[in-house]
A and B are shown apart, each in its own frame.
Chain A
Amino acid sequence: MVPITYYLILSAVIFTIGAVGVLVRRNAIMIFMCIELMLNSVNLTLVAFANQWGNLNGQIFAFIIMAVAAVEVAVGLAIVMAIVRHKDTTNVDEIHLLKW
């Protein structure tokens, strides 16, 4: 059996990749995909812990996170569309009307 640490380290790595991706990517959609990556790594963690503790809480939590992620995708794409209608870009560096 694979020890739980392996799962945890893997998910931590994925989480970090996602977080760094948010910081370095400039395309709004890509940023959002990185956030999805973070959420999925959390799901992995939760499932691993659920397996370790032998209860279902973690699994349920993982399902709920997936549902929430789906909602976020819907809302996020709509918002990006709203931006694109005004300004033909998804590059977040070009979106800085609000500042200071």
Chain B
Amino acid sequence: MNLSSLNWNSLLPELVIVATSLIVLITAVVGKVSRVDRIARGHALAVVTLIGLLIAAGLTIMQLSQPASDFMGMVQSDALSHYLNLVILLAAALAVLLAWDYLGRFTYSFSEFYSLLLLAVAGMMFLGKSTELITLFVSLEILSISLYILTGFNRHQLASAEASLKYFLLGAFASGFIVYGAALLYGDTGSTWFSDIAANASGGFLTLAGFALLLVGFAFKIAAVPFHMWTPDAYQGAPTPVTAFMSVGTKAAALVALFRVLQSAVSAPYETWAWALAILSLLTMTVGNVAALRQTSIKRLLAYSSIAQAGYMLIGLVAGTVLGLQAMLFYLFAYAFMNIGAFACASLLESDDWSELQDASMANARGLFSRQPLLATALAIFMFSLAGIPPLAGFFGKLYLFDAAIDAGWLWLALVAVINSVISAYYYMRVVVVMFMEAPDESTRVRLPIPDSAILAIVIAVLGALLLGILAGPSFASLGQAVVAWRF
């Protein structure tokens, strides 16, 4: 075996991201610049990051129809990972646009930020491709550790540091269980390759316990109840662009990787793991939605909402069918647009005061429509889409997920999900009502400055949420063609 015999092509997008990350990082140690120039350099770095993300996206699109398995079967580059790459790159690009102006408010360490963001992206992309336990673990850690740091990036704020600490300690705790699970699976089969594990598993205690512990890690990353406790705190405390990015990217990567594990590594019967996931899904959406009902911070509300959304997406895994996978991927795209869009709007409502819990409180949104009608309309569109109101992307995402569940015989789960959607409409609508129906008070009468980069991000998100709804049929069908090509 030598290096040239490896098919580097299949990892090209990831390599581009890693290379960009290194380029961005190097600028931190090269040359000294004045304060003013630092901001300009930060913008330049953001552009470099965006270019890297775009190239990776372009490469991914070029590879869309070429499944490849290489590095001795450690990675699998197929439709699933390509679509995941696109979701992650989209989320990252939107996060960069958000960070463009936001970052300069509390730090000058631009190159570290963008470099870590790109590393997290690379970790997520590797995670979606890995078909071997060590690769899986390493990619998981790359993305986690980058995100721990990003979460605590606002050093001037206690909340950010606290969020980072909680995320870090609980994340490390969870990875302890994952590696133990991986070790048990290895002990059971003598191999760390998914295919070998599936073929040689004894089906005894080691297999089952190993798989249960592995599941813990994924459930933690997806923020499934009861492994979700870190989520509201980490999401609320982290700088908003980071929250937006990790709420989408991490979930997407973990869901897709879990799907791969379930389909290619698990020898446990379908009913066993499907029921476990169904219960997780039920708990996750219910707890997320119910806890969100009385939140007073829009950011924390969105954090709980993203827990609930993860519950919906788990339905696709429970179904475990082509339709389920297709629906989950569609929902991931829809979710990327509407959730990041919502966080983007929330970031504009924040105050600049770092001393307190700096937050987009509900009160800040009061009467937003009479101050900034377009911003209010955009946020309302995201809320409607998250609530699943037709004809927006979120509605069709839920429709397809519920349909997949019913199709696979999980009628009760679909019903629970529908009831949950109704509950969730309450708090999403509350935000809309506050913006449209209430009068602004004196303190919130000022126009908010909205940087152009944020406008661009919000516009992209609005268009995505609208077009994925209006063009739901064709986009769902095109996902379908690619997914069916995936072996089942």
Contact = CB atoms under 8 A, between A and B. Distances in A.
A8 B133 CA distance: 20
A78 B162 CA distance: 12
Interface string A79-97: 1101101110000100111
A53 interface: yes
Interface residues of A, number: 45
Interface in B4-54: none
B161 A61 contact: no
Nearest to A46: B183
A28 B165 contact: yes
A76 B168 contact: yes
A33 B189 CA distance: 30
Nearest to A99: B233
B186 A98 contact: no
Interface residues of B, number: 39
Contacts of B184: 45
Nearest to B179: A42
Interface in A17-34: 18-19, 22, 28, 31-32
Given A57-B134, A57-B186, A98 B237 contact: yes
Contact of A86 (B134, B158, B176, B186): B158
Given A32-B169, A72-B172, A97 B190 contact: no
A31 B168 CA distance: 11
Given A61-B186, A61-B192, A98-B233, A68 B141 contact: yes
B236 interface: yes
A64 interface: yes
A39 B182 CA distance: 12
Given A64-B134, A68-B141, 20 more contacts: A8-B187, A22-B173, A28-B169, A35-B176, A38-B173, A39-B176, A57-B190, A58-B186, A61-B183, A61-B186, A64-B138, A65-B179, A71-B141, A79-B165, A80-B165, A82-B165, A86-B161, A92-B165, A95-B162, A98-B237
Interface of B: 133-134, 137-138, 141, 145, 148-149, 152, 155, 158-159, 161-166, 168-169, 172-173, 175-176, 179-180, 182-184, 186-187, 190-192, 232-233, 236-237, 357
